[in-house]
Structure formats: structure tokens, C-alpha cells
Amino acid sequence: MIVKSLKFRKTITAVCVLSLLALVILILKKDSTSFNDKITSYQRVAKREDSEDILHRDLVPEVKKEHVQKLKMEKEINKGDDTTKRELQEAKARIDQLEKKIAFLEGRIPQKYPEVTYLGYKERKRILVTGGAGFVGSHLVDVLMTQGHEVIVVDNFFTGRKRNVEHWFGHRNFEMIHHDIVNPLYVEADEIYHLASPASPPHYMQNPVKTIKTNTLGTINMLGLARRVGAKILIASTSEVYGDPMVHPQPETYWGHVNPIGPRACYDEGKRVAETLAYSYAKQENVSVRVARIFNTYGPRMHATDGRVVSNFIMQALQNLTITVYGNGKQTRSFCYVSDLVDGLLSLMASSYTLPVNIGNPVEHTIEEFAMIIKNLVPGCRSTVATGAAVEDDPQRRRPDIAVAEANLHWTPKVSLQDGLQRTIEYFREELSRTTFYNNQTYMDIKVKPNN
């Protein structure tokens, strides 16, 4: 009986142990399933980080916290991205703009310079051209550079333009100094062409005192420089020293007929003093001087709006505007093409002739005729010619007697009016295509006398 009871107890204990084991196994299995679920869930979080829904999933608090922080950071970066993107776009636009500007500037600076002759050390001169960025000066610079000389241009750009000489920028024989000749200048030179002075009536009347200073103080400075460095100096004088002439055509021996207090006096008398100064320095200081009395000159690089006859008439004809003749149109002028003038200046400098020399073209036309010549040279021109009020102190006759130049410089002008005007018209046509000129009102006005 006792043995039976013991067997039963053992059986009960074994069943209990087995049941306990099974329970433990069950519990362990459940834990393992929940652990796997968590792992899968974390993996999904990693895969779909961009989704905000994930926040609502059943994540452990640490993962949730970390994810929220990450999303916040992303939002910040995105915000920053907008600003950065805008800044980048702005920078790109600016770079594009600058690249275009550089391309434009590079296009304007020729890679190749006009061909120049090679001159040896002994033949090569250092030549100073005052007013070298102006109309006449820039053509003179071209010839001197082409001949192989070293050229220094001095200009205050009152009426001159860098564009007139920009094709020489960077050339080893070329130098440009921005300087007002009313102030002293210290440079070395073998020859000086002194051309700095406004030349058209509206320009020189704009600031008469400055015009006088340029032609007197400026000329003293240049003559003083010539004396110091032993340079030969050529003074650009003018036919205006003859004023409204009583002798026709005008020879160099004619003393002139100038109104000393008229609107043109600042220029006319300024140039007369410049001549006096030149011969005073020659006599007293032994300076080698040349004086060119330049008559009306025209050609490319003239100022389009300076109010002078050639530029006015061509600009008006090209735009089919009324061609305005000041006065009755019977006053005469003779016009010299710029290349002829430059040849004359070079010949004078090279010669041993020291008295004043007229340089101009003796072919004379009335202003009225001249207006018609220009009108006919512009194809399809529909302009009409009209006369207006006369200009105060306007010389009635102007024609050079060039016998002195012919005899002493062996110089005569070569370019016909027809050829010279054609070239000038082409130049102005191009100017018109690159700049906007607003009809007559922009042409600098010159003082006119009332009609009656």
C-alpha cells in the first residue's frame, strides 16, 4: 500500500515538473516573438525615415525621441537650403554677368596691335603728345606708333576719349597719362606735339577761363618741359589767330583781325599768346619750336555733337533732320582731311623751318554749298537745308595760303573733299548705330546772334 502511494506521488511530481517546464518554454517563446517584432519595427523606421507617420507607430521612447530630433534637423537644413539656393542662384547670375562683361572688354582690346615698324635704339624717339586722346591727336599717335616710336599721351579727357587710342593699350611703346597740362609735368621726351586744348566753339566757350589757362599756363608748362629736357616742341595753333580776316586767303604774314573781348577770344587770344610764348622761349631759352596754324580739319573720331559744321551736317543728314546753316550760308570754309593734317604736322616737326606755317586745304566752299555736298553724299537723304541765326564773330571767309608749307615742307593736301567726306560719313554712321543721339537738341548749342 505504502509502495503504491509512493509511486503515485512520484508520478504527480513528474507531471508537475513537466507542466512547469512547458510553461517556462511558453513564456520564453512569447518574449522572443515580442523582441523580434521590435527589431522589425526598428528596421521599418530606418527604411522610412522620411515619413512622419512613423511617429505614431509603437516605437520605444528612445527611438521616437531620436527620430523627432532628426526630423527637426532636416527641417532646419531644408530651411537653410532655400536661403543657400537663393544665394547660389544670385552668385551664378552675377558670375554670368561678369563673364559677359569680361568677354565684352576682351573683345574691345585687340589681341593684335596694328603693325609697327621696328626702330633701333638710335632712331627710336620718345614722343609726348598732349591732347593725344582727342580727334587730331589720336590720328597723330597712330602714325607715330606705326613708325615705331615710343609715344606718351597726356590728356585730361575733357574732349578726348580713351576709345580713340584704346587699340594701343598695353603696347610696350605706348603710355597714357591722365593729366591736366595746366599743372607741371615731368617726363622725358625727345619731341613734344602740344595739341591739348578744346578746339570746337561750344567746347572752348563752355569754360573760357579754363580755355585761356590751358593755352597759356599749359603752354608755359610744355615749353618749360621742352627746355628742361631739350625737346623740340610743336605748338598746335589755329587759323583763328587771323580772326575775321581782312585779307584773303590768309598768309602767315597776316596779323589778324580778332575781337579781344568777343565770345571766341578765350580761344583766339589764348592761341595768339601760345604763339608769343613759343617764340619767347625760342629766343630767350633757345627752345626749338615749330608752330602749325591749323585750318578746319575733319575726319573719323570727330566729336559727333560738338556743333561744328562737318559733324553737324553729317549727323543731321544721316538722320534725315533739317540741315541747319547758321547765318545766310555765304560764309566760306576750307576743310582739310585729318590724314593730310597729320602729314603736315610730321613734316613741320621734321623740318628746320621755325616760323608759323598754315596747314589746311585751300579748296574753298560756301557753307550753303557744303550742306548740299553732304546731303548728296548720304544715299537716300531726305533732309532739307534751312538757314538760321548767325553766330557772333563768325569769320566770313577762311582759306589758307599754303605757299609756305609747299615751299618749306614740300607738303600739299592729297585727300579730296569727296573721299574724305565719304570716310567721315561712314564713321558717323557707325557712331549712330552704337549710340543713341536724340535729334538736334543734343548737339551742343553755340551762341547765336538774334536774326535782326
Ligand X SMILES: NC(=O)c1ccc[n+]([C@@H]2O[C@H](COP(=O)([O-])OP(=O)(O)OC[C@H]3O[C@@H](n4cnc5c(N)ncnc54)[C@H](O)[C@@H]3O)[C@@H](O)[C@H]2O)c1
Q: Which helix (H) or strand (E) holds 191?
A: strand 191-194
Single-letter residue type at 261: I
Distance between CA atoms of 5 and 183, rounded to whole angstroms?
140
**The one among 54, 141, 149, 156 contacting ligand X by CB under 6 A:** 156
Minimum CB distance to ligand X smaller for 54 or for 195: 195
The least distance separating ligand X from the CB of residue 123, rounded to whole angstroms, comes to 27
Q: Is 236 in the site for ligand X (CB under 6 A)?
A: yes
Minimum CB distance to ligand X smaller for 101 or for 163: 163
- Calculate the CA 411 to chain-centre distance: 35
Q: Which of 362, 364, 367, 370 is nearest to 330 (CA)?
A: 367
The least distance separating ligand X from the CB of residue 153, rounded to whole angstroms, comes to 9
Residues 61, 66, 67, 72, Cα dihedral to 10°: 130
Question: Which residue stretch of 34-42, 47-55, 193-201, 316-324 sits at the interface with ligand X (rule: CB under 6 A)?
Answer: 193-201
Distance between CA atoms of 239 and 252, rounded to whole angstroms?
9
> Which residues face 234 on adjacent strands?
193, 290
> Do 198 and 252 form a contact (C-beta atoms < 8 A)?
no
Q: Is 159 in the site for ligand X (CB under 6 A)?
A: yes
Minimum CB distance to ligand X smaller for 67 or for 335: 335
Q: Which of 298, 311, 307 is nearest to 326 (CA)?
A: 307
Question: Which residue stretch of 119-127, 143-151, 293-301, 379-387 sits at the interface with ligand X (rule: CB under 6 A)?
Answer: 293-301
Which residues in 213-232 contact ligand X (CB under 6 A)?
214, 218
Minimum CB distance to ligand X smaller for 8 or for 255: 255
Q: Is 269 in the site for ligand X (CB under 6 A)?
A: no
Q: Is 195 in the site for ligand X (CB under 6 A)?
A: yes
267 is catalytic: yes
**The one among 6, 60, 110, 157 contacting ligand X by CB under 6 A:** 157
The least distance separating ligand X from the CB of residue 249, rounded to whole angstroms, comes to 16
Which residues in 122-141 contact ligand X (CB under 6 A)?
130-131, 133-137
**The one among 278, 294, 346, 391 contacting ligand X by CB under 6 A:** 294
Kindly report whether the peptide bond that precedes residue 413 is cis, defined as omega within 30 degrees of 0: no
Catalytic residue among 267, 298, 326, 443: 267
Measured from the Cβ of residue 165, the count of other Cβ atoms closer than 10 Å reads 25
What burial letters (b/e) apply to 266-290, b meaning 16+ CB within 10 Å?
A: bbbbbbbbbbebbbebbeeeebbbb
Distance between CA atoms of 307 and 263, rounded to whole angstroms?
15
Beta strands in 20-145 (DSSP E): 126-130
Contact track, ligand X, 8-47, x by CB under 6 A: ----------------------------------------
- In the numeric block, which cell numbers belong to residue 297? 580739319
The full length of the chain comes to 452
Q: Is 160 in the site for ligand X (CB under 6 A)?
A: yes
The least distance separating ligand X from the CB of residue 414, rounded to whole angstroms, comes to 18
Minimum CB distance to ligand X smaller for 119 or for 166: 166
The least distance separating ligand X from the CB of residue 292, rounded to whole angstroms, comes to 8
Q: Which of 320, 294, 324 is nearest to 308 (CA)?
A: 324
Distance between CA atoms of 360 and 382, rounded to whole angstroms?
31
Distance between CA atoms of 289 and 219, rounded to whole angstroms?
12
**Which residue is associated with the grid cell 567721315?**
424
How many residues contact ligand X, by CB under 6 A?
A: 28
The least distance separating ligand X from the CB of residue 304, rounded to whole angstroms, comes to 12
Q: Is 296 in the site for ligand X (CB under 6 A)?
A: yes
Residues that bind ligand X (CB under 6 A): 130-131, 133-137, 155-160, 180-182, 195-199, 214, 218, 236, 238, 294, 296-297
Q: What residues are labeled active site?
A: 267
